[in-house]
Amino acid sequence: MGTLQGELMYLNNLVVNTTYPGVQQAGTSRSSMSLPRPKSSGLLGSEGSCYESLCEQQPIGRRLFRQFLLDSNSQYAAAAKLLEDFDYWQHMEDEAKEKAKMRVLAKFCQPESRTFLFSHAGDAAEKYASLSISNFDEAAMEHVREATRTFLKGGPFSEYLKSPFFYRFLQWKEYEKQKITRKYFYEFRTLGRGGFGEVCAVQVKHTGQMYACKKLDKRRLKTKGGERLALIEKQILEKANSRFVINLAYAYEDRTHLCLVMDLMSGGDLKFHIYDLGKRGIRMERVVYYVAQITSGILHLHSMDIVYRDMKPENVLLDAKGQCRLSDFGLAVELPKGKKICQKVTANDPPQEEEEEVVGGEEEEVGGGEGEIGGEEEIVGGEEEQRRRRDQTHPWPSVGVQYLAQWYPSSALKAGTTGYMAPEILRQENYGMSVDWWSVGCSIYEMVAARLPFKDFKEKVQNEEVTRRTLEDDCKFQHSDFDAPVKDLISHFLKKKGINFHRLEAGLTEPPWVPKPNVIYAKDVDAFRTASEVEDVKLDSKDERFFKEFSTGAVPVRWQKEMIESGTFDLLNSSELNASCQEWRGEERRGEERRGEERRGEGRRGEEEERRGEERRGEERRGEERRGRRRGEEDEGERRERRGEERGEERRGEERKMKGEEKRGEERREERKMKGRGESEERKGRERRDGRGEERRGVERRGW
């Protein structure tokens, strides 16, 4: 059973390792393409009428604007050619540079030349006139270049926005906005695996362009709290635009993964070249070349106020042409100008002994990735800012770090990788961009000596000891290659002539080593550990909102470069530009007709609205009259009712008065009756008393 499994794994490696290089070398199969019609010219509003964005930063926009200038009058064409010749002069060296200078002076600064620029330079005419052999340097040419750009931003740019070339650009922008899904690509072999997912090779179906797709498992991201790191890396990749930094081409999602489609670096990483490719270490010629490119990449990040914080050979990748680029920006942080960052570590990390790896040992990376966190970071300014912060009590003292330490107890809460972190980070001091240069120094040491400055190859040592060595020990140059080569390396950095960075940035400098197209500079597929499945993790509406925010589709600059590099732009532009012009003119006519019809419709709608308004106002007047009559009738009815109530009240008053009179008469009669009865009773009483008196007197008379 074991033998069968081994044979199957061997067969799988053979298939993927055979198919993948063939696809890389072919890379030209395209599905049929056609550009859509812009939905509306309102796209200009979303793009903005910014000259820099439309005509310089976006590759297709730059190509179409140049084509517009060359097809326009001679003045516009001369301005375009001046900028091209200036770039050519800047990239040349020695005798070729001198010839380029003389050509610029002859073509653009001589009154008898057909491409003489004084006639349309305006206020910048004196800059052109002052240019000569004696003062022809980069500073002077920069003034001339800026004056030419100022000229192009005026009339030429306004005319370009009304031309069929710009209509063509809008077509490309419409096509660029298409929804990106996994069906947009062919998927090939796995190139690597990490804590959140895997990286595989993919090919765009329409253009044949090869990329690397970093697939991040949604549930694993949520389980390990990696959403923030993934979003930071995506935003930096999207923002960066340098040939020395990995460029992001697409960002999309499928049911289970977030996918970042980036430049394919088929030459492997520098760590692989240091330890796995022949003799350990890299030749000095290659070290100088790679360090120049690494420096350019870090300077580009610093120009965007980004601290890399994870510079190491493992994160420097080589493409198929032997050029290197920086990758893995999960630990990077954007730092406002003039500010520094400070990480306060409150968790006590237990000593950790590193695991031994097949290639060079595995340094522990902290602050990002699997089991990585960035710590509690505070951005601080100068002394005044620090004093103000010391005078205040932080509302949540160390709560964040302590909480993270519960979930990541084995991680030192410092951003970076053990052995490459600068002393400022290890001491928890304020630091800025300089920490990246310390890591560059450690990486140069490792490229030459195949070991770290403070940790030997495959040495099993605790992280605390590496930290102590970094803070307390001096760097020892004990390797045999450190005598002359290191001095040579330092002299290469100090010499003005050593590296022409303009040529390097333009990709015109030949690399000292180029990967072989039929060799895969990565481990076999079965050498990658398969990540364990994540179960019982539910994704809620908040997660879905984050995934949609993450999935932004094609990145404009890199996507346009792909269209140009794959030949798709030239293919469609040459075959369809005339049709595009006719379509644009037809669109213009249809637009005029639509606008005329809209104006006429507006007029008709205005008249109809006016008529309906008059009808409404007449109806309102009649309604007011009806309501007035109703109110009058209601008022008259109320008055009649009030008068009836008043008369009724009078009648009731009269009745009450009559009843009162009758009652009083009855009372008088009753009183007279009572009085009569009293008088009668009184007479009878007197009569009885008189009778009794007579009786007594009779008795008395008889008695006597």
Scanning the structure block, which residue is given the tokens 């990658």? Answer: 528
Are 422 and 293 in contact by the 8 Å Cβ rule? The answer is no
- CA pair distance 272, 275, nearest whole angstrom: 6
Our CA dihedral for 159, 160, 161, 167, rounded to 10 degrees, sits at 130
User: 654: which 2 tokens?
Assistant: 């009269």
Dist. CA 73–CA 160, nearest whole Å? 13
> Residue 280: enclosing H or E segment and its boundaries?
none
How far is Cα 161 from Cα 625, in angstroms, rounded to an integer? 59
Residue 635: active-site member: no
d(CA 620, CA 341): 71
Q: How many residues does the chain have?
A: 704
**Phi, psi dihedral angles at 163 (to 5 degrees):** -100, 165
* Active-site entry in 310, 319, 328, 436: 310
What is the rounded distance in angstroms from the CA atom of residue 249 to the CA atom of residue 566? 14
Distances in Å between the alpha carbon of 327 and those of 241, 243, 244, 433, 515?
13, 12, 9, 17, 18
The whole-angstrom separation of Cα 555 and Cα 491 is 40
Cα–Cα distance for residue pair 492/498, rounded to 1 Å = 5
Which of 352, 332, 361, 372 lies closest to 196, judged by CA? 372
First to last CA, the chain: 175
In this structure, how many other beta carbons lie within 10 angstroms of the beta carbon of residue 38? 20
How many Cβ atoms sit within 10 Å of the Cβ of residue 98?
14
Place of tokens 């340098």: 242
Spell out the alpha helix ranges (H) of 540-567: 541-550, 556-565
Q: How far apart are CA 358 and CA 524, in angstroms?
A: 14
CA angle at 345 for the pair 340 and 348, rounded to the nearest 5° = 165
The distance of Cα 497 from the centroid of its chain, to the nearest Å, equals: 39
CA distance 673 to 678: 8
Q: Would you tell me how many other CB atoms lie within 10 Å of the CB of residue 207? A: 22
Give the tokens for residue 674.
Answer: 């009572």
- Extract the tokens encoding 169: 């650009």
214 is in an annotated binding site: yes
Tokens 């005329």 identify what position?
Answer: 596
| C-alpha dist (Å) from residue 330 to 221, 230, 232, 372 | 13, 6, 6, 10
* Binding-site positions for ATP: 214
* Binding-site positions: 214
Task: State the catalytic residues.
Answer: 310
